Amino acid sequence: MNRFGPEREQPRPLEARPIQAVAAIIVDPDGLIYTNIEKRGNSLYGKLPGMTALPMETIETATGETREDAMKRLVREEVAFNLVLTAPSEIGMFGVGIAAVTLYHMRVIAKNGRNPNFDTAELEDPKFRNPVKLTNGSVWVREGVPEMVADFQSGARGVYRMSCQPPTTE
């Protein structure tokens, strides 16, 4: 305690958060961004059933998984289409609930049908959406999505956001 009252706990640096994750902004040739609808919720990660989300995947650090490995798994499990993509380009880190999410950007070079590994137990309604709808409140989105899309659209790189706005109720 100091003369102004109790000390405020400082936010934990993103690299020290208990959950590390990756997310992807996948853009098609028309400038639309790939999304899914969450079927299952987890409030610790800022997601509820029915929310529109970018592909996001927790890094399995206990097994030694790297960000690069998690990105490959993200594309394999959370993207409903077989896509030929550019190499991931890092945008930055975002505090999403208790997680620190490293965001990457990839462009679609070609689409080759459906992905048989798409996780239909947790995700549905895969589609490419207008990025404006992901930032202006017209679509109910998972925590972090508006900030991630806005930073991507502005061309920002090296982003370091300690927290993102919690989602609004539907």
Domain ranges of the chain: 20-161
- pLDDT score of 2 more than 60: no
Can you list the alpha helix ranges (DSSP code H) found in 1-155? 67-78, 131-135, 145-154
C-alpha–C-alpha distance, residues 10 and 23, integer Å = 25
20-161, what's its fold? Nucleoside Triphosphate Pyrophosphohydrolase (3.90.79)
pLDDT of residue 93: 97
2 backbone dihedrals φ, ψ, rounded to 5°: -115, -175
Q: What is the band of 99 on the pLDDT scale with cuts at 50, 70, 90?
A: very high
- pLDDT score of 166 more than 90: no
- In this prediction, residues 33-44 reach a mean pLDDT of 90
pLDDT of residue 128: 97
C-alpha–C-alpha distance, residues 24 and 27, integer Å = 9
pLDDT of residue 45: 72
- pLDDT score of 60 more than 80: yes
Cβ–Cβ < 8 Å for 20, 26: no
pTM, rounded to two decimals: 0.89
pLDDT of residue 44: 74
Beta bridge partners of 10: none
Show Cβ contacts of residue 27 under 8 Å, excluding neighbours closer than 6 positions. 33, 34, 105, 106, 107, 108
Per-residue pLDDT tens over the stretch 75-84: 999 999 999 9
Mean pLDDT, all residues of the chain:
91
Per-residue pLDDT tens over the stretch 124-156: 999 999 999 999 989 999 999 999 999 999 999
- pLDDT score of 43 more than 80: no
- pLDDT score of 108 more than 90: yes
